[in-house]
A and B are shown apart, each in its own frame.
Chain A
Amino acid sequence: MSVIILLILASLTVALVFLGAFIWSVRSGQYEDTLTPSMRMLADEADVKKSQPNSKLK
């Protein structure tokens, strides 16, 4: 059962990596705006349409 130490260490390492990522994301202002990112991601298709004049896409 001592292998559980290894698994806990590995799992904790992964968890700490994510914790670090979480702290980074909050500190760097990733989540200052939790509304417009969901809308902005819809917009990129506009560029595509410009480059396809005979697109049948609605």
Chain B
Amino acid sequence: MNTNVETFKYDNRIVRAFGIVTVLWGIVGMLVGMLAAVQLFFPDANLNLQFITFGRIRPLHTNAVIFAFVGNGMFMGIYYSLQRLCKARMFSDFLSWFNFWGWQLIIVSAAITLPLGFTTSKEYAELEWPVDIAIAVVWVAFSVNLFGTIAKRREKHMYVAIWFYIATAITIAVLHIVNSMEMPWSWMKSYSMYAGVQDALVQWWYGHNAVAFFLTTPYLGLMYYFLPKAANRPVFSYRLSIIHFWALVFLYIWAGPHHLLYSALPDWAQSLGMVFSLMLIAPSWGGMLNGLLTLRGAWDKVRQDPVLKFMVVAVTAYGMATLEGPLLSIKTVNSLSHYTDWTIAHVHVGALGWNGFLTFSMLYYLWPRLYRTNLWSTKMANYHFWIGLLGMMFYAIPIYVAGVTEGLMWKQFTKDGFLQYPNFLETIVQVVPMFKLRAVGGTLYLVGTFLMAYNLYRTAKAGQFEPDTEAQAAALAKAPVGHGKPSWHRLLEGKPLFFTVLTTVSILVGGLIEIVPMFLIQQNVPTIASVKPYTPLEVLGRDIYIREGCLGCHSQMIRPFRSETERYGEYSKAGEFVYDHPFLWGSERKGPDLAREGGKYPDAWHYNHMDDPRSTSPGSIMPRYSWLLTQKLDTTSLPARLNALRKVGVPYPAGFENGPAQNDLQAQAEKVAADLKQGSVTAEPDREIIALIAYLQRLGTDIKSAPATTAAK
């Protein structure tokens, strides 16, 4: 029956808006990445400004690229494809624009707060609690818009891409809420509810799934839409795409612990993460092959069409990254790769290749369609492709070399059984040339992006924007008409029920995570009696350590290998971290591990080292932290901090924060200052450097003072 054919309009404005910001934030994110990359071989590139020093802009780079570049690219693709797959305009234009402006506001607030040093220090979840709340609100708006559009769709079958979008919406919400449980102590700062090992587990459960459900599932959905569209042929096997989806969502969420192999996390949890990671090869490669095989018999099109060229590389990079990821999750491989630049190379194959190139292909696909014209210059797009590909190679290959070099040098013993490279600095100086080559690669990739921006701009100028695309489709039957199948009726009845169940479950999750941490706190009893809470001065020092992003380059987790215990000391125990809100294990070593830093060097050494690392360690790539020497320590917020820590389970005695804590702080600061004087350094006891030194000197010393630690040998 043709009587119920409806005419409606697809919203193209929102797609264009997300497209424009994708390009803009992409360029910003890559520029910040360049700034960070350059500092790794030329530390003075921070211009001695704390706001653009590596530790602070590294999270800015990752957040900008993941949530601003890829995030906006994801919204662009979803808002375009969802409307067409559902044969319906978005559920609510208001929610669309709320999603758009809310997300941009979050990005801007990240660009302001991260350089200012407001960070939770948890990777890819660095944004502080007010921004976390904003993210949750905007995400709910997006989800409502998504589900609303699906509910009013005119196409009964939900194409596989939609399922990928649904998985993204649901899972990111749960991950974000669970990982962002934090206790605020000021309007911009908080402490994680979880401590030590528990915090680490939650963080990497989140961290891995952020990769899985923010960078992978939505982009797979986009691949399943845009690749067949661009090639103008159906996906190789639709059945396989369905299996790909369901297998992926059921496996992905258990893989997180592979980020904590050989750490103080219990062994069985590590093995669980490893096994699930290995299983992921199957669906991932199924998806990659499905994408590539879609092009069978159409490779002549790939030769001509830059859109398809970008897609082929994107899908191939997806395949490479999803083979490498599981391999890196094997404990033996991980023992070499972890903490090295290998991980950095791995994620950049994913980010530059899979996410970057798929985003570029979508932009090249969409712009001519949105502006009803041809791409301004196919030749320029081809140049972009080759320059971008070359940039990727120049990025990835040197960093792989650097990673393997670092891993091998750290583990190398002489035939007499001593570390071949006992000085960590040697191993990092060795790979500095690779860091330089990487910056060349990054520059090339950025140049390509600029070419695209210009090309899209000229395309827009040449064409005429179509704000709404008119389309026609029959409405889905609202009620069974005489001869209609009865199952339809049940289906339509069942749908609101289904969404009610969904909502209930999500509320349950909310309730659960409110309650569970409370009882977790009770269980944070130290298993090592000599491990004590940080002193007030050390708490302040630790917060400076977090603010400066020290964990971007220094781990605090010594793995139980002889190469590590020889270099750093006794391996780390879970019981040592019970008061660490948040945990600061880190995931990268551009500098030595600091878990046992306490007592290794005199206070004066730390002072001089922070003032100018090259004065104590010639050739070091660490930035200067001279501002710590002059900035006054903020002691006014001490009660608020101690209070918040007590609320999350650190046993400071009642009333400690009013008076005793301040006296304790003064006394310890005077002591550090006096100690500095012995090393012929004159420093005021009320400077930030004093607190940082106090914290560094505390690190890992608790178990040294324990008489019973001999059991650990």
Contacts and interface: CB of A to CB of B under 8 A. Distances in A.
Interface string A4-27: 111101110111111011101100
B512 A9 contact: yes
A31 B194 CA distance: 42
B709 interface: no
Nearest to A55: B372
B229 A1 contact: no
A7 B178 contact: yes
B238 A10 contact: no
Nearest to B470: A51
Interface in B516-552: 516-517, 519-520, 523
Contacts of B239: 34
A24 B499 CA distance: 11
Contact of B466 (A33, A34, A52): A52
A47 B512 CA distance: 48
A13 B171 CA distance: 10
B249 A18 contact: yes
Contact of A3 (B201, B234, B249): B201
Nearest to A54: B372
B380 interface: no
Contacts of B483: none
A19 to B, nearest CB: 8
B201 A4 contact: yes
Given A10-B178, A20-B498, A30-B157, A2 B469 contact: no
Contact of A13 (B174, B241, B373, B523): B174
Contact of A14 (B170, B498, B519): B170
A17 B202 contact: no
B501 interface: yes
A42 B520 contact: no
B197 interface: yes
Nearest to A45: B229
Contact of A47 (B158, B160, B369, B471): B471
A3 B374 contact: no
A33 B85 CA distance: 16
Nearest to B166: A21
A1 B509 contact: no
A2 B374 contact: no
A6 B369 CA distance: 47
B178 A6 contact: yes
A14 B253 contact: yes
Interface in A32-57: 33-35, 37-42, 44-45, 47-48, 51-52, 54-57
Interface of B: 84-85, 87, 155, 157-160, 163, 166-167, 170-171, 174, 178, 194, 197-199, 201-202, 205, 225, 228-229, 232-235, 238-239, 241-242, 246, 249-250, 253-254, 266, 269, 368-369, 372-374, 466, 469-472, 487, 491, 494, 498, 501-502, 505, 508-509, 512-513, 516-517, 519-520, 523, 574
Given A4-B201, A34-B242, A48-B471, 15 more contacts: A2-B523, A7-B205, A9-B516, A10-B513, A11-B205, A17-B502, A17-B505, A29-B491, A34-B239, A38-B234, A44-B471, A45-B229, A47-B470, A56-B373, A57-B369
